[in-house]
Amino acid sequence: MSRSRELGDQAEERAAAYLAGRGYRILERNFRCRMGELDIIARSGDTVVFVEVRRRSSARFGLPQETVGPAKRRKLLRAAAFYAQQRGLDCPQRFDVVAEGPDGLEHIENAFP
């Protein structure tokens, strides 16, 4: 396993623990389909939350959440639509970002429509 993949996996572990500690129920992790990958799928109340985890060890090239650009958002939206259809979800859904930077974790709720 590459060092960057290992660091990404560790960031996802911390993000999942952070969310669970705030009452989110983790439904799935690393859901993969032909449209892309969803890092964490969780439930908060009656809402299914698709969580993208981003990590940067330094802010030198920008904040981790800034790496979720329009192309990545489209992939996430398509993967989430596939997941919702496959699971027959009929409930509110949203997209959050958990960004891990040199100053720790930042949870951005409803990061994009």
Closest by alpha carbon to 40, among 98, 91, 92?
98
Largest pairwise CA distance in the chain: 42
What pLDDT, in 10s, does the model give residues 69-80?
899 999 999 999
What pLDDT, in 10s, does the model give residues 12-29?
999 999 999 999 999 999
Q: Give the class (CATH, top level) of 3-112.
A: alpha beta
pTM above 0.75, yes or no: yes
